[in-house]
Structure 1
Amino acid sequence: MIKTIPKQPEGRSRHRWWSRHIHYYYYRLLRLQDSPEAIARGATVGVFWGFFPFFGLQMVLAVMTATLVRGNRLVAMATTWVSNPFTYVPIYAFNFHVGQILLRFQDIDLTDVDWTSSDLFYLGGKFALTLGLGCFVVGSIVAMLTYSLTVPALYRLRRLRHHRRCRSRR
């Protein structure tokens, strides 16, 4: 006789899948052999490049920069996913708005464009400058916050892990 395992409802199994993956990556983060500062530098670089619209190049730029600043390259690649298909539009719209405020370019309105080559050339340069400055400023601020929050958090997580290990050995 063959025993069958009863199926769980779809919602519960999906929850367990996400839960397992979150725990897996949490423990991978705890077990990284780099110093908390190197991991934080990697996260900082990845988050910074994640705020730029260089689709496909974000990870390459993050790894190159992480190598230069001696940050963790794996963490740098992973944290570029702060911008993903679900967050592209709000992040870049916010970055563009910040660029408009800083450059005082309030006349860029994409709804009133004639779409002639001269208008597009003029608007393209202005648009790229506005978005680029906004991405740089927002990315820099979020990167600094990432570093300042990640280093103490990693020290705390490692300390907690060490205490748990010591307790379990008793």
Structure 2
Amino acid sequence: MNLRRAIGKEFKRSWRILRRPGRWLGLARWYWTRLLHLPGSARSVAAGTAIGCFVSFTPFLGGRVVLSAGLASLLRVNPMAAIVGSHVGNPLVYPLIFVGSVELGLWLLGRPGLGPIALERLADLALPAALGLAVAGSLTSLAVYGVVLSSVRAYQEKHKARRIATRRGREALACSATDGPAL
């Protein structure tokens, strides 16, 4: 297969995914299910997800998975949850995240909004961008932590109750089988 045909097939597949939001929802549901099934305490999973979410608000686009897994390992929380959480930021939402964060940083510093951007002015946007990304990442991470913590706790309690009920059912069957026939 030549390169042009391979690129064409890949472009068509990517375009097909972008056109159908149902596929996005399916992918989000898949990530959510994997997040609920991760081993460890609910706090560890929620903290890992929050770390990954925060890292997705940093300008380190290529290294967000490695950075989030490394931070999660250093802080002794679930690194797989951090990797899942780092997928909050993706190429489709990065422009929204960065422009919104710069606007937030400018607003917090009391400066006027972006307006037309010149290349000479990009250096002046470093501080507002860093401040906006830190605030937006922190607020989003706190919200994600709360949602994931309550969801994972509910899932783990439900799963534990189901395991206990299954165990009791097996014990009841074992007891009735060893009692012998009733006269």
TM-score (norm 2): 0.69
Residue matched to 2:143: 145
Q: Aligned runs of 1:13-162 on 2, under 5 Å? A: 25-106=31-112, 108-111=114-117, 113=118, 115=119, 120=120, 123-162=121-160
CA contact (8 A) 2:107 2:113 kept: no
CA contact (8 A) 1:39 1:71 kept: yes
The CA distance in 1 between the partners of 2:102 and 2:23, in whole Å, is: 36
CA contact (8 A) 1:41 1:70 kept: no
CA contact (8 A) 1:40 1:150 kept: yes
Report the CA distance between 1:16 and its aligned residue: 9.6
CA contact (8 A) 2:36 2:151 kept: no
> Percent identity of the aligned residues?
28
Name which one, 1 or 2, has greater alpha-carbon Rg. Answer: 2
Would you say how many aligned residue pairs link Structure 1 and Structure 2? 149
CA contact (8 A) 2:48 2:79 kept: yes
Over aligned residues, Cα RMSD in angstroms?
Answer: 2.8
CA contact (8 A) 1:44 1:143 kept: yes
Report the CA distance between 1:30 and its aligned residue: 3.3
The CA distance in 1 between the partners of 2:166 and 2:26, in whole Å, is: 22
Report the CA distance between 1:151 and its aligned residue: 1.5
Amino acid across the alignment from 1:141: L
Query: Residue 22 and residue 132 in structure 1: after superposition, are their counterparts in 2 closer, same or farther (change >3 A)?
Result: closer
Report the CA distance between 1:167 and its aligned residue: 4.7
Q: Which has the higher contact order (CA 8 A, sep 6+)?
A: 1
CA contact (8 A) 1:41 1:69 kept: no
Query: Residue 149 and residue 124 in structure 1: after superposition, are their counterparts in 2 closer, same or farther (change >3 A)?
Result: same
TM-score (norm 1): 0.74
CA contact (8 A) 2:38 2:81 kept: no
The CA distance in 2 between the partners of 1:15 and 1:109, in whole Å, is: 32
Q: Which runs of 5+ in 2 are unaligned?
A: 1-19, 170-183
Residue matched to 1:163: 161
Report the CA distance between 1:108 and its aligned residue: 4.2
The CA distance in 1 between the partners of 2:40 and 2:155, in whole Å, is: 14
The CA distance in 1 between the partners of 2:53 and 2:100, in whole Å, is: 16
Query: Residue 149 and residue 128 in structure 1: after superposition, are their counterparts in 2 closer, same or farther (change >3 A)?
Result: same
Report the CA distance between 1:166 and its aligned residue: 4.4
Query: Residue 92 and residue 148 in structure 1: after superposition, are their counterparts in 2 closer, same or farther (change >3 A)?
Result: same
